[in-house]
Amino acid sequence: MAKQRSGNGVLGFIAWFTGIVVSLAVAFGLINGTLGLPGWLGGTSTAGMWLVWAVGWIVLITTLVGAVLAILRR
């Protein structure tokens, strides 16, 4: 008998969906300035704010691309 992959079915979908929601929440938090770097890591500087904003957009885009690819793969 073939071994069934773990993560299939409803539980796998819930885990995948939770990951997408958390990733989008973090991305929007970084983009909107709710989340950021502490001051001692340069978070209060202009370059630090731009870095956090750019990372937020990277997380957002890669999350959306990954979600679309996962849907198309099924």
In a domain, 66, yes or no: yes
In a domain, 30, yes or no: no
Q: Which residue range is the domain that position 61 belongs to? A: 49-74
- Check whether 19 has a pLDDT greater than 70: yes
In a domain, 61, yes or no: yes
In a domain, 37, yes or no: no
In a domain, 65, yes or no: yes
pLDDT tens digits, 38-58? 989 988 899 999 999 999 999
pTM: 0.81
Six token digits for residue 57: 């957009």
Reduced 3-state DSSP string for 5-70: CCCCHHHHHHHHHHHHHHHHHHHHHHHHCCCCCCHHHCCCCHHHHHHHHHHHHHHHHHHHHHHHHH
Report how many domains make up the chain. Answer: 1
